[in-house]
Amino acid sequence: MQLYSVRDAVQQDLEGTLERLHDLGYRGVELAGFGGAKPERWSHLLLSNHLTPVAMHVDYQRLDQNLERALADADVIGSPVLVLPWIPEQLRTTQAAWIEMAHWMNRVGERVREQGKRFAYHNHAFEFDKVGAAATGYDLLVQSTDPALVEFELDIFWAAKADQSVPDLAKRLGKRMTLCHVKDMTGDEERTFAPVGGGVLPWKTWLDLLPVQALIVEQDACADPDPFNCLKSSIDYLKSGI
């Protein structure tokens, strides 16, 4: 479960939040910041609640300016993967900028690998906008990053929102797609977030195409005032055998 989904609860009661996630049936989490707690506290509470830290999102500025600290925090928490969740807008204005970003990712990925960890990139929808005559930003990232250094965490909702073929993306990324964010999409004009199984995306078809190391449930925003209800709906659906 991507902890951004319960970001307010993490700030207010980290221990209670992790206990509740375990009770819902989740066995792993992906961090999105520390919510004001120290990495040592995270490590203790994750262990006591039998939750595996499958990855952690780390923003561009921290990776660029304080990578060694991010790696040290990942060591304490036990996270095997550092994920860049967003590219600042000013760093993706041209085709050359996208290629330079890919080269930067290679450099980060190399240092992360030297420390026995892995580096990945998480998409939104903007990556699928055309940058040149034919290529999209995502095209340029896939083409210009080293498969040995940069993996991809495919956010299925955002790819579908950008009208991309999820099966085609999964086939194209192959073994580079090691993690996935799963959330559903409403069928109205807004096409906004819904719990997995509560929208229009064809999970019965897609799930077999996602042989990843972890399917990570995320609910950026939830129509229900209590996001835990959305997370319960998602995991109940995924565990139902569909």
Q: Which residues contact 158 (CB under 8 A, 6 or more apart)?
A: 123, 124, 125, 181
Q: Which of 31, 100, 29 is closest to 64 using CA atoms?
A: 100
Judged against a pLDDT cut of 70, whether residue 242 lies above it is answered with no
| pLDDT category of residue 61 using cuts at 50, 70 and 90 | very high
**CA–CA distance, 192 with 158 (Å, rounded to integer):** 10
| Sheet of 28-32, strand order | 28-32, 52-57, 81-84, 118-122, 151-155, 177-182, 214-217
What type of residue sits at position 200? Answer: V
Domains of the chain: 3-238 (3.20.20.150)
Looking at residue 133, what is its pLDDT? 80
Looking at residue 45, what is its pLDDT? 98
The residues with which 81 forms a beta bridge, in sequence order, are 118
Q: What is the pLDDT of residues 80-119, one digit of tens each?
A: 999 999 999 999 999 999 999 999 999 999 999 999 999 9
| Prediction pTM value | 0.97
Judged against a pLDDT cut of 90, whether residue 56 lies above it is answered with yes
Q: What is the pLDDT of residues 168-187, one digit of tens each?
A: 999 999 999 999 999 999 99
Q: What would the mean pLDDT of 178-206 be, rounded to a whole number?
A: 97
Judged against a pLDDT cut of 90, whether residue 42 lies above it is answered with yes
**Cβ atoms of residues 81 and 121 within 8 Å:** no
State percent of the chain over pLDDT 70.
100
